[in-house]
Amino acid sequence: MTPKQTAMLVYALLFLLILLAFFMVRFAIIWYRRKVSELMQNVRNDIAASGEALLCGPEAAYYEGSTKGVFKATGNAIAALSSKRLVYQMLFGKLSEIKLSDVKSVSENIWFQGKMRNFRKHLILEMKDGVKVAFFFKNHLGWMNSLNNELAKARSQSP
């Protein structure tokens, strides 16, 4: 095989690898979009089945983890806020919830458990047992206001 033929073969193989990588990335994007749509529908159905009012979401979120007890893994999730609970489902995981009756306060901070992500503020739920759970939302202020409003309503209704 001449050097010219070898070069042509290398270019052809390189082209095929690039083409394969393109299709793999395209497939991953399509899969991700379908998975997010499926999870959003799961969260919507769960809240609809409970008869609770939907206040925020469902929308894409990032679960940053907790200080202890709750699911510690971090990652992409779908979250929704109802009148009684925050429901979220990780991309690879089961549907989870945080009852608003268990939440002591809501705060925000750039840092959570020694981590900072692009100077974005974590929305941190502090539970009555001292555990803290953090999320990122695109509509950070909307979620914070909705959570604080629901907590204020619950406090005013409790004896």
Q: Per residue in 70-84, pLDDT tens?
A: 566 788 999 999 989
Q: Which residues contact 73 (CB under 8 A, 6 or more apart)?
A: 63, 65, 90, 93
In this prediction, residue 69 carries a pLDDT of 66
- Quick one: pLDDT at residue 115? 81
Write out pLDDT tens, residues 108-148.
999 988 888 888 899 999 999 989 999 999 988 999 999 99
- The whole-model pTM stands at 0.79
Closest of 120, 99, 102 to residue 111, by C-alpha: 120
Q: Which of 112, 47, 109, 118 is nearest to 78 (CA)?
A: 47
* In the block, residue with structure tokens 């609770």: 52
Measured from the Cβ of residue 19, the count of other Cβ atoms closer than 10 Å reads 10
Dihedral angle over CA of 106, 109, 115, 117, nearest 10: 110
Return the structure tokens found at 128: 């009555």
Domains, the chain, ranges and CATH? 3-157 (2.30.29.30)
